[in-house]
Each structure stands twice: as C-alpha cells, then as structure tokens.
Amino acid sequence: MFDSVKTVAEITDYISDLFDTDPTLKNVWVAGEISNMTRASSGHWYFTLKDSDAAIRAVMWRSATERQTVTPHNGDAVEVHGKVSVYAPRGEYQLYADIIRPVGAGDLYQQFERLKVKLEMEGLFDAERKREFPAVPRQIGVVTSPTAAAFQDILNVLTRRYPLVQVILSPTMVQGQSAPPQIVQAIERLNDHTDVDVIVVARGGGSIEDLWAFNDEAVARAISTSRIPIVSGVGHETDFTIADFVADHRAPTPSAAAELVTPDKRDILLQLGRTVEMLDGMTYDTILTRRTKLERLQGTMSYVSPENTINTNRQRVDDFNARIIRQQKSRMVLLRERLVAKRAALEAANPRAILARGYVIVTDDAGNRITSERDAKPGTNVEMQFKDGKKKAWIRGDDDGYDQPTLL
Amino acid sequence: MTMDMISQLSFEEAYEELEEIVTKLETGDLPLDEAVELFERGRRLSDHCQKVLDEAELRVNKLADDGDLEVLE
C-alpha cells in the first residue's frame, strides 16, 4: 500500500486539521503556572504553562499582548484562553493564547456577568429610567473617600469649571469588605439629609478587585432607588462596573464626572459677553429706529411748518421795503428836479433880472406899483427903480402933450 | 422689575434677571427711557455675574452621619 505512504508535511497537515476542527481545542480556557516567559522584541510572548503533572507550550502574538492589562511573570497562576494547534516546523502542538487573566478573576467575571444579566432583566439599566440633572447645579453630593486622589481630582475640576457650586461630601470607603455597605449608606445619607441636585459616585482607577465594591448588588440597588440623580465616575475609561450601568449617567473617570455635572465658567463668561453685545445691539437698534422715525417726522414738519409762510412773508416784506426805497428814491429825484425847475422859475421871476434887462419899476409915494397908465396921473410923484438904483420922478402929462411944466 | 441692590444678588438670581431683560428688550416695544434703563441694569447684572464667578471659591462640606454639615478644609 504505497499509496498510503505520506510525507512528513502531509501527515502534519492531517494532524493539524484534526486539531483545528476540534470544538474543544478551538476555544479553551487553560489554568496553569507561567514559566519560561520570553518577551520577544517583536512584541510576541513565548511561555510554558504548567501544573504539577503536565506542561504545554504557548505563544501570544503582539496583536494580543498589546491588549493585555496585566503582564504575567514566571510563577504567576493564570488562566489562559486560546486555541490549541500544531506548529508544523517542530511537529509540536501549542496553545495560541489571546487572553491571560489571574486565577480567580474568572470567578469575579462570572459573578459580574450574572449580576449584570439579573439587573438588566429587572430593567434597572433601561434608558427610560435615566434621569436628567440641572445643567447648572447649586449643590453636588460626592460619594467617595475623603483621602482618595479621586476626590481631589473632582474638587480641582469644580474649582476650575464652576466654583459657585457647593460640594457636599458623603464620605465612605471605596474598597474592601466594608466598602459596599458604606457606599449604600453614603448614598442614602445624601438622599435623607440634603437636597443636592446630583450625586457623583466616584473612585479612581485600580484592578478589578479594587473596583469590586462598585459591582456589588446592594450598591447597584442603592443607586437605582436614589431620589437624587446619580453620575458614576469609577476607574479608568476602559473599566465598566455595574454601578455604571445603573447610574443615570456614566462618566469614564471621577474628573469626567465632575465635568459632566457642571457648566464651564469660561462658557458662561463667553455667554455673558455675548449677552451684553446683544443688549448693546438691541439698544442701538431701539435708538436707531427712533432716530430714523424722528428724522422722517422732522422732514414732514419742515414741510408743513409755518416757518415757510413766515419766510415767504419775510421775503415779501423785503420786496416791499425795496420797492418803497426805490419809490422813495425816485420821488426824491423828482422833487429835486422840481425844485430845480422852481428855482429856475423863481430865478426867472426875480425882479432884479427884469431890471437887468432894462425894465423899470414905478411906484407911487405909498409904495404901490404903478402898472397902468391910468394910475399915472399927471403931477403924480413916483419912484423909479432901476437895476442899480432909484430915482424920483414926476408925471408930466399924457402921451399927447404936457399938462404942466415938469421939472424936478 | 425687581430693583434689588444688584451686589446682593446671587449669581443665579442675577443671571435669571439678565435673561428676563434680554427677552423683554427682544420682544417688547418699550418706551425708550425704559429700554435704556433696562439696558443699563442688564449691563450691571452682567458685570455682577462676572465678578461673582471670578471671585467664587468652592465651598466644601462633609455630611456627617447625623445629617450635619461640617466645613471640610
């Protein structure tokens, strides 16, 4: 049966297939003690898992070692999860590991899962149970240990973000056997004696055992029945506790919880600035609107104002004045012309001028002018006025002869 | 409008009144003198809020088992 002769590679492939198709070997937890641990520079870990009776070689690739929270050392009792398969070059089977955890952690994990399922079935994680808290709290209750770094972290955040808030610490131990009942009491104390706006239940990071009090059923129930909304801030970002699921809000860390329950002072100051700007704008608008209205009214006013009539009248008066002045002026000219004419006439009528032309004025003794022949009777004494003097004379007779001898 | 001494108001009281004033100014067709007066008060409220925030110091108390508050240093 030469047909049945197989190469080493062929038989190794065949064995390898048997391992890889076996349901138990594909997905198994193996408990043992670590030895021969080698951490290669490539990031892979090579070690042997052994107990008193047997040993199995194991390898964990870098993709898995990077995800491990604990670094195992020789002598550690651990539980390793992975698949058992064949390493063909050496013809060896080995455990290809993806999870390593300390012995006992498995029990805690199962407890955790059982309680989680139980409370979830009761509806304690339901979204509609989650309550809101005021965006701007007056008082914040803090359930934690007064000596914990977590408490100082919270105070630092509150001082920086919103120092107006009052902090009421309800002190408790946060790890160890007595921690769960103390945490329950601390929550109840805040509910019984205060009216804080929100409670922060906090603890800093640690191992799964350190955080275990927050996976306690009594603690979970105290959180779910709290009258006051509760924010959890337990451990690091990657840690999830039952308290986180039951709380109204889960914050990844104590500091984050303090941030979650307070507004930021800087935001408020910014908002204040914007409000004042808005006030400024609104007041400016109010004034501008009124000014525009006022200016429009003023326009209308000047249109209908009596001032226009007054101005028109004023102009009329001015015109009138000008006319009067003009008239006055021409009148003066006229009068002056008249005066000149009169003076000429007067001048013309000046008796002296007549005398100058050779005429003589004759008057009787009484001084009456004799202008008619009939008044010049013969024998009448007269006075003759020449241009340059007077002479006495006597009327001798009529034209046709002498009535009497006339001699003076 | 409450005419309390602004310096006596808590941050919340002042902030709330400031918001009321903004709403009034936004919606109401107020007489000018009233609008200006409201604006002035709004400004002072805002200044007060800022001052209170700037000067605030965190108050920390410890809740005793019997419900008493103790000042925590």
Residue of B63, B65, B66, B68 to mutate, testing the A interface (most A Cβ within 10 Å of its Cβ): B63
CB-closest option in A166, A192, A276 to B43: A276
**For the stretch A217-250, what's the b/e string if a residue is b when 16 or more beta carbons lie within 10 angstroms of its beta carbon?**
eebbebbbebebbbbbbbbeeebbbbbbbbbbbb
Q: Which residues of chain A have pLDDT under 70?
A: 1-3, 105-106, 345-351, 398-408
DSSP state of B73: -
* pLDDT for the residue numbered A322: 84
d(CA B46, CA B53): 11
Whether the CB-CB separation of A166 and B59 falls below 8 Å is answered with yes
Whether the CB-CB separation of A203 and A144 falls below 8 Å is answered with yes
d(CA A145, CA A154): 12
Residue B21 counted as domain residue: yes
For A54-102, what is each residue's pLDDT tens digit? Answer: 999 999 999 998 877 778 888 888 999 999 999 999 999 999 999 998 8
Closest residue by Cα to residue A183 from A247, A130, A115: A247
Residue B44 counted as domain residue: yes
Whether the CB-CB separation of A79 and A29 falls below 8 Å is answered with yes
Half-sphere exposure of A375 (CA within 13 A, CB side): 12
**Dihedral over Cα of A211, A217, A219, A221: its sign:** positive
- How far does A223 lie from chain B, in Å, by closest CA? 18
Residue B57 counted as domain residue: yes
* pLDDT for the residue numbered A403: 54
* pLDDT for the residue numbered A387: 82
Cβ distance of A269 and B36 shorter than 8 Å: no
Tokens coding A342: 């009169």
Asked whether the predicted pLDDT for residue B59 surpasses 50, the reply is yes
- How far does B29 lie from chain A, in Å, by closest CA? 9
CB-closest option in B19, B39, B61 to A169: B61
Cβ distance of B69 and A168 shorter than 8 Å: yes
Nearest residue on chain A to B10, alpha-carbon basis: A164
- How far does B41 lie from chain A, in Å, by closest CA? 10
Residues of B in contact with A265 (CB under 8 A): 53
Nearest residue on chain A to B36, alpha-carbon basis: A283
Domain span at residue B24 reads: 8-71
Note whether A12 contacts B: Cβ–Cβ < 8 A: no
Residue B28 counted as domain residue: yes
* pLDDT for the residue numbered A347: 66
Residue of A156, A266, A276 to mutate, testing the B interface (most B Cβ within 10 Å of its Cβ): A276
Residue B1 counted as domain residue: no
CB-closest option in B43, B46, B58 to A163: B58
Closest residue by Cα to residue A100 from A68, A75, A76: A68
For B25-43, what is each residue's pLDDT tens digit? Answer: 777 677 777 877 888 888 8
Q: Per-residue confidence at B1, pLDDT binned at 50, 70, 90?
A: very low
Residue B46 counted as domain residue: yes
Nearest residue on chain B to A169, alpha-carbon basis: B62
d(CA B46, CA A78): 62
ipTM metric: 0.76
CB-closest option in B35, B53, B59 to A166: B59
- How far does B8 lie from chain A, in Å, by closest CA? 15
Cβ distance of A159 and B58 shorter than 8 Å: yes
Residue of B16, B58, B59 to mutate, testing the A interface (most A Cβ within 10 Å of its Cβ): B58
Note whether A276 contacts B: Cβ–Cβ < 8 A: yes
For B55-72, what is the mean pLDDT?
Answer: 86
Q: How many Cβ atoms sit within 10 Å of the Cβ of residue A279? A: 23
Side chain identity, residue A173: M
Nearest residue on chain B to A160, alpha-carbon basis: B58
**Dihedral over Cα of B66, B68, B69, B70: its sign:** negative
Whether the CB-CB separation of A48 and A58 falls below 8 Å is answered with yes
SS3 of chain A: the string is CHHHCCCHHHHHHHHHHHHHHCHHHHCEEEEEEEEEEEECCCCCEEEEEECCCCEEEEEECHHHHCCCCCCCCCCCEEEEEEEEEEEHHHCEEEEEEEEEEECCHHHHHHHHHHHHHHHHHHCCCCHHHCCCCCCCCCEEEEEECCCCHHHHHHHHHHHHHCCCCEEEEEECCCCCCCHHHHHHHHHHHHHHHCCCCEEEEEECCCCCCCCHHHHCHHHHHHHHHCCCCEEEEECCCCCCCHHHHHCCEEECCHHHHHHHCCCCHHHHHHHHHHHHHHHHHHHHHHHHHHHHHHHHHHHHHHHHCHHHHHHHHHHHHHHHHHHHHHHHHHHHHHHHHHHHHHHHHHHHHCHHHHHHCCCCEEECCCCCECCCHHHCCCCCEEEEEECCEEEEEECCCCCCCCCCCCCC
d(CA A157, CA A155): 5
Half-sphere exposure of A307 (CA within 13 A, CB side): 6
Note whether A294 contacts B: Cβ–Cβ < 8 A: no
Cβ distance of A171 and B62 shorter than 8 Å: yes
d(CA B71, CA B73): 6
Backbone φ and ψ of A248, nearest 5°: -70, -35
As for how many domains chain B has, the answer is 1
Any bridge partners for residue A391, and if so which?
A384
Residues of B in contact with A169 (CB under 8 A): 60-63, 72
Cβ distance of A165 and B58 shorter than 8 Å: yes
Residue B29 counted as domain residue: yes
Residue B3 counted as domain residue: no
